[in-house]
Amino acid sequence: TSYYFKKKEEKAEGEYHKLRCEIIQKSTDLWPQPEKWKARESVFQMMKHQYDINLYFESK
């Protein structure tokens, strides 16, 4: 059973990392205008402080 849960954990971490990287890479498409780009900063800070999710860099 521990092997099963270890594999499940690795799969979830991989999916999480892929999703996080996708948001980082597509941030220019999600916030195209300069005034909306400033709103991106507040979203990234909220995610970092509230959920401890770093959306500034792709590395873990």
What tens-digit pLDDT sequence spans the chain (60 residues)? 899 999 999 999 999 999 999 988 988 888 888 888 888 888 889 999 999 988 888 876
pLDDT at 41: 87
Rounded CA separation 40/55 (Å)? 10
Rounded CA separation 23/56 (Å)? 10
pLDDT at 38: 82
Token pair listed for 49: 């402080």
Cα torsion at 15, 19, 24, 29 (round to 10°)? 150
The answer to whether the CB of 17 falls within 8 A of the CB of 60 is yes
What does the DSSP 8-state code read for residue 55? Answer: -
Whole-prediction pTM value?
Answer: 0.73
Token pair listed for 39: 């709103």
